[in-house]
A and B are shown apart, each in its own frame.
Chain A
């Protein structure tokens, strides 16, 4: 859209004059050829109204085929069997599907997905397990799965690393490796152009539990922070945890006072340098990359660059509604905002 503002050069010069709006006499200022616009200090007190909070309503979850409510706690342990050497084998089948996802009501994004959901399945296993993931490419572009963690070069899912580096449409490839090190990891497509392949939705969480397990908690949740560049200008238009903007703002996550909560937090946000997580009225223990059982920090705000991730542990002392959001506040108002409803 074009504005009506550039009609004549002279209209841009100087400050507001002659008569102010609503009968307010504004100072007449002349600034010659300067393009700057001065504001009278008296205007400071003229802020207008309370306004409305940012946000949108619900999208069609049925049509999307997934719901952030389920993604929050949906851990996929795979098809489990025992290998002759006694180790656990976990087998997964993942299909790349092109799919239109309704991001905000009325706006569909032509996404690329693992198994039709964003983020893709949360693959969860224990350190030392044998992992076997068959990727079937049901889309019309080559794709791959690149895991963060230890694995042989041909299992890296990067073009040039062999058949698994770029799985052609209609083809499939089986990635197989031992799950290590323990921690919170992720996977994503690594086919060129990388930024686009990630931003279109090809990413997911990969959790490797330590052999002895983590101390038990009452609630475990996965939160993947990402954004959507719906107009393809390499800048995100919407932000979210678990893909749908404002979902947990519209549907607060219900927990109880004193309940121990553990969040597996992954940042895969493309185009922006940083993302962050801030918890209201509380502090959390933070385990960067989850590779240690000792927290490094007790804080209420952390920042993550792309592919950084970490585990948060906390519990609430008081009942109430508490926000959690990116403390890059712009992201919060563009969708990355949620609520915990803490009940007695």
Chain B
């Protein structure tokens, strides 16, 4: 017995040593390459520089640019030109910004409300970076007033429409099995469309993530991890309860979570845009959001139609689906992190597609009992078309 264990432990030491050999060799190769250049001429004739604008803040008589150096080497800010005028400026903490370091450029400039500004920042290597301010607007600072404004935005675009959709519950309960399956299929279609929309948005934001942080990678990791995690949770739940009603509620909850993440992303976008004065939440747009997001409420309750969930549970589902829009608006309004946005959108993508998978399993059970050749097709298509048509109101 002891011999076996000592053998296996000796084996382990040997295994570790064998595992380490390539790593040690790798270290040697890197050291050799760094010291000799490996025979390649890799020095660039022009420096590679990259600056990422994280956020601009307009205050009375001043413009602040919050930037991050996302290039491979340190960058020195040399000149700032605002609308064709070379302006004095200050950089804190220092005009030399290390790799992945952050700095704030402060310019005293008498900007005018509602006008457009173009800012060119020159580094010491004469590389220009431009910032566009399409509509100058005093940046909302955290205060009870702006906090309430962001809350209202989230309520309008997230919470209210979803609860409106949930109010269909009593009516839809009267439907027959075929109609319910159709509704489930429609929910799947709806979610597929939302999923695509979320991916599209995530890709857009990912393009703005500093290259070192690989936005696409964050999207992939977030989406896959969420999908697999939710799948595992759902399987465990089936094992534990085996109760069909609980299982259907779990699917509803997951739909609500998926939609919640989608709305979080939407809230982030709206909050960020609102804080730079670009948001245009006219009454028409708010109406558009209510119409589109009411379908999300419908999707959340679709799996529950043959059960009798309590009002409390329905309210909880609506809250989970809609309230993240408020949270998103707060986050997006006061900070601007494309990394965070991509992560949320990735989670939303994974959650939404996992839920589609769950719904597909539920539908499969229904269609196994009764032949419904075109119900699923027409349902899914209806769901997708619903979002496409209502989407016209807000695009």
Q: Are A7 and B53 in contact (CB under 8 A)?
A: no
Residues of chain A in range 8-33 having any CB-CB distance to chain B below 8 Å: 8-19, 21-23, 28-32
Q: Are B204 and A7 in contact (CB under 8 A)?
A: yes
Measured CA separation A60–B117 after assembly (Å): 31
Measured CA separation A12–B269 after assembly (Å): 12
Please tell me which one of the listed residues A3, A18, A21, A47 contacts residue B281 in the complex, with CB atoms under 8 A apart. Answer: A18
Q: Are B67 and A1 in contact (CB under 8 A)?
A: yes
Measured CA separation A57–B137 after assembly (Å): 30
Among the stretches A75-83, A99-107, A193-201, the one at the interface with B is A99-107
Among the stretches B23-31, B125-133, B178-186, the one at the interface with A is B125-133
Nearest CB on B from A293, distance (A): 39
Which of B84, B134, B204, B394 has the most chain A CB atoms closer than 10 A to its own CB?
Answer: B84
Q: Are B135 and A14 in contact (CB under 8 A)?
A: no
Please tell me which one of the listed residues A6, A10, A15, A21 contacts residue B138 in the complex, with CB atoms under 8 A apart. Answer: A21
Measured CA separation A19–B277 after assembly (Å): 10
Measured CA separation A312–B149 after assembly (Å): 61
Residues of chain B in range 29-68 having any CB-CB distance to chain A below 8 Å: 51-53, 55-56, 60-62, 67
Q: Are B285 and A107 in contact (CB under 8 A)?
A: no
Q: Are A43 and B281 in contact (CB under 8 A)?
A: no
Residues on A with beta carbons closer than 8 Å to the beta carbon of B67: 1
Contact with B along A308-342 (1 / 0, CB 8 A): 00000000000000000000001001110000000
Measured CA separation A231–B123 after assembly (Å): 10
Please tell me which one of the listed residues A3, A48, A106 contacts residue B111 in the complex, with CB atoms under 8 A apart. Answer: A48
Which of A9, A47, A105 has the most chain B CB atoms closer than 10 A to its own CB?
Answer: A47
A54 in contact with B127 given A8-B273, A30-B284, A49-B60 (CB within 8 Å): no
Residues of chain A in range 35-81 having any CB-CB distance to chain B below 8 Å: 37, 39-40, 43, 46-52, 54-57
Nearest CB on B from A276, distance (A): 15
Residues on A with beta carbons closer than 8 Å to the beta carbon of B81: 237, 334
Nearest CB on B from A192, distance (A): 22
A11 in contact with B110 given A5-B273, A23-B145, A335-B86 (CB within 8 Å): no
Nearest CB on B from A242, distance (A): 17
Q: Are A5 and B134 in contact (CB under 8 A)?
A: yes
Q: Are B87 and A11 in contact (CB under 8 A)?
A: no
Residues on A with beta carbons closer than 8 Å to the beta carbon of B87: 52, 54-55
Interface size of B by CB at 8 A reads: 73
Measured CA separation A55–B109 after assembly (Å): 12
Q: Are B109 and A52 in contact (CB under 8 A)?
A: yes
Which of A11, A46, A108, A334 has the most chain B CB atoms closer than 10 A to its own CB?
Answer: A11
Q: Is B301 an interface residue (CB 8 A)?
A: no
Which chain B residue shows the least CB distance to A246? B86
Q: Are A109 and B126 in contact (CB under 8 A)?
A: yes
A1 in contact with B52 given A11-B278, A23-B145 (CB within 8 Å): yes
Q: Is B88 an interface residue (CB 8 A)?
A: yes
Q: Are A333 and B86 in contact (CB under 8 A)?
A: yes
Residues of chain B in range 268-297 having any CB-CB distance to chain A below 8 Å: 269-270, 272-273, 276-285, 288
Which chain A residue shows the least CB distance to B110? A51
Measured CA separation A333–B284 after assembly (Å): 42
Q: Is A2 an interface residue (CB 8 A)?
A: yes
Q: Are A104 and B113 in contact (CB under 8 A)?
A: no
A106 in contact with B76 given A4-B55, A16-B277, A237-B81 (CB within 8 Å): yes
Q: Are A107 and B122 in contact (CB under 8 A)?
A: yes
Q: Is B365 an interface residue (CB 8 A)?
A: no
Nearest CB on A from B193, distance (A): 15
- Not counting A52-B88, A54-B88, a sample of 5 additional A-B residue pairs whose C-beta atoms are within 8 angstroms of each other reads A10-B288, A10-B395, A230-B128, A237-B122, A245-B86
Interchain residue pairs A-B with the least CB separation, the first 9: A49-B61, A51-B110, A14-B280, A333-B85, A106-B78, A30-B282, A107-B78, A1-B53, A230-B126
Can you list 17 A-B pairs with a CB-CB distance of less than 8 A?
A1-B121, A3-B56, A4-B55, A4-B272, A4-B276, A5-B276, A8-B273, A10-B394, A16-B277, A18-B279, A46-B113, A48-B112, A52-B87, A52-B109, A56-B86, A231-B122, A333-B86
- Tell me the A residues contacting B by CB distance below 8 Å: 1-19, 21-23, 28-32, 37, 39-40, 43, 46-52, 54-57, 104-109, 230-231, 237-238, 245-246, 330, 333-335
